[in-house]
Chain A
Amino acid sequence: MKKVYKNAELATADIPDNCTLMFGGFGLCGIPENCITALVKKSISGLTCISNNAGVDDFGIGLMLHQHQVKKMISSYVGENAEFERQLLSGELEVELTPQGTLAEKIRAGGAGIPAFFTATGFGTEVAEDKETRQFGDKQYILENSLTADFAMVKAWKGDTDGNLIFKGTARNFNPMMATAGKITIAEVEELVEPGELDPNHIHTPGIFVQRIFKGVNYEKRIENLTITE
């Protein structure tokens, strides 16, 4: 089965209106830049986007927001994007703010065939509203459902043509779980190699989870807060 695509445009060509998408990344670190650029150029809308953050005003998912492509965001923190916070407060955009650990576990569980799980996170807060609770031992937990997506877009450092992926640094974050939870997972990589070039011991995401892969181009890799030691 051929997994290799020429570029983001071709890999995202069949993504329709109103579907559910996952985007890897923490802040702007490890985001699928090429896929986002391709989606911004498409005239699709009504999207439900699952991503830890919402990018910044002029980069990442923020670009899709300007195009009014996003109907609903499922994220843990949208603070770096003033436009998102504004749309949230004005009611223009539906946002489901989810604790980061719960979001990570929802996605991991979704890809792993676990429909729901109990977590203590959010018990007694508005996150627990309308959710089943149960006591285990002497602690209270809330029931959270898992998440899957029609398409998951992930960014990796290296990948091979079988879809095996290796991530770099903190650009890993949500990418590996999302790779498992997409019905169709599209991986963009900085280096695309032949099978056999990646050591099996070093692979972070086995190719079974990845349906499409392409070598990305022109990564900006924007830094939100450049902090240095003199």
Chain B
Amino acid sequence: MALDKNGIAKRIAKELKDGYYVNLGIGIPTLIANYVPNDISVTLHSENGLLGMGPFPKKEKVSADMINAGKQTVTTLPGSSLFNSAESFAMIRGGHIDLTVLGAMEVSETGDIANWKIPGKMVKGMGGAMDLVAGTDNIIVAMMHTNKRGESKLLSKCSLPLTGVGCITKIVTNLALLEVTKNGFELIERAPGVNVEEIKTATKGKLHINGNIPEMEIN
């Protein structure tokens, strides 16, 4: 069965706590904003200088001066604030963000992450990613378990240039929810309809499986 991008976002949304200040990276992480549970409220931080990011505007309310980190037009909410980039990264680097969710190309069994460069092919730049992984304690990676060529993205060691070292503790993929511990990857939950064998096959790094692994509960 496996999860699609929205399924991954839905599972990660269950990790949100009331009052959290959250930074969501571009790609799958932005979808998490659509699944914030009704009984809690979180504040979304946009690295370009907005706290309290609201939904996309109605056509008449579009403003070129109100965009998010992905350069999409957005809105503010009651309680929002605006500030400059140095102040924005003081929030990030100073440990004030409660949760950061970002995508990755590779994650290692020791919690390294590579998500910004493919030498000779894609060198767009790291943007805020390195600051986010260096400055936030609570980081969740949202990604597909394997890449377009079917290769595992959960490795013993990253082959691509690193974004951060030993900083990832939780990963949610289309196949599983895993944690990174002293023993490498630890399988915590299976995606609906996915069995342990499938996850083992798709994971190249050291994978620790302790007992019966429950299925994710996603409504």
Choose among B56, B72, B125, B131 the residue that contacts A121 (Cβ–Cβ < 8 A).
B131
Tell whether A30 is near chain B: CB-to-CB under 8 Å: yes
Residue of A nearest to B89 (CB): A101
A80–B69 Cα distance when bound, in Å, is 12
The SS class assigned to the A binding surface is loop
Contacts of B64 in A (CB 8 A): 28-29, 171, 221-223
A76–B127 Cα distance when bound, in Å, is 5
Choose among B74, B85, B129, B134 the residue that contacts A52 (Cβ–Cβ < 8 A).
B85
Contacts of A79 in B (CB 8 A): 124-125
Tell whether B46 is near chain A: CB-to-CB under 8 Å: yes
Docked-complex contact B126 and A26, CB < 8 angstroms: no
Docked-complex contact A169 and B63, CB < 8 angstroms: yes
- Interface flags for B80-101 (1: CB within 8 Å of A; 0: not) read 0011111011001100000000
Docked-complex contact A226 and B62, CB < 8 angstroms: yes
Tell whether A207 is near chain B: CB-to-CB under 8 Å: no
Contacts of A76 in B (CB 8 A): 125-128
Contacts of B27 in A (CB 8 A): none
The number of chain A residues with a CB under 8 A from chain B is 55
Tell whether A195 is near chain B: CB-to-CB under 8 Å: no
A170–B74 Cα distance when bound, in Å, is 10
Docked-complex contact A107 and B131, CB < 8 angstroms: no
- Which chain A residues in 167-204 approach chain B with CB under 8 Å? 167-177, 204
Contacts of B197 in A (CB 8 A): none
Tell whether A206 is near chain B: CB-to-CB under 8 Å: no
Docked-complex contact A26 and B162, CB < 8 angstroms: no
Docked-complex contact A78 and B125, CB < 8 angstroms: yes
Contacts of B134 in A (CB 8 A): 119-123
A175–B85 Cα distance when bound, in Å, is 9
A125–B128 Cα distance when bound, in Å, is 14
Residue of B nearest to A81 (CB): B124
- Interface flags for A142-175 (1: CB within 8 Å of B; 0: not) read 0000000000000001000000000111111111
- Which chain B residues in 127-154 approach chain A with CB under 8 Å? 127-131, 134-135
Known A89-B120, A123-B165, A124-B164; contact A100-B89, beta-carbon cutoff 8 A: yes
Contacts of A102 in B (CB 8 A): 130-131
Mark the stretch among B10-18, B47-55, B180-188, B200-208 that contacts chain A.
B47-55
CB distance from A118 to the nearest CB of B (A): 11
Contacts of A173 in B (CB 8 A): 48-49, 84-85
Docked-complex contact A174 and B56, CB < 8 angstroms: no
Known A102-B131, A122-B134; contact A229-B93, beta-carbon cutoff 8 A: no
A17–B24 Cα distance when bound, in Å, is 41
Contacts of B70 in A (CB 8 A): 225
Tell whether A75 is near chain B: CB-to-CB under 8 Å: yes
A168–B48 Cα distance when bound, in Å, is 13
Contacts of B120 in A (CB 8 A): 89
Tell whether B32 is near chain A: CB-to-CB under 8 Å: no
Contacts of B86 in A (CB 8 A): 104-105, 107-108, 176-177
Identify the 7 closest CB pairs spanning chains A and B, nearest first.
Answer: A79-B124, A101-B89, A124-B165, A101-B131, A169-B65, A221-B64, A77-B125
Q: List 29 A-B contacts (CB under 8 A).
A: A28-B71, A29-B64, A76-B125, A77-B124, A77-B125, A77-B127, A85-B124, A99-B127, A99-B128, A100-B126, A101-B89, A101-B93, A108-B86, A121-B131, A121-B135, A124-B165, A169-B65, A170-B66, A170-B68, A170-B82, A172-B49, A172-B82, A173-B49, A174-B84, A204-B84, A223-B62, A223-B67, A227-B56, A228-B62
Binding site for B on A (CB under 8 A): 26-30, 52, 75-80, 85, 88-89, 97, 99-102, 104-105, 107-108, 119-127, 157, 167-177, 204, 221-229
**Given A125-B162, A125-B164, A204-B84, 19 further pairs, Cβ under 8 A:** A76-B127, A79-B124, A79-B125, A85-B123, A89-B121, A99-B127, A101-B92, A120-B134, A125-B163, A170-B48, A171-B64, A173-B48, A223-B64, A225-B67, A225-B70, A226-B73, A227-B73, A228-B56, A228-B57
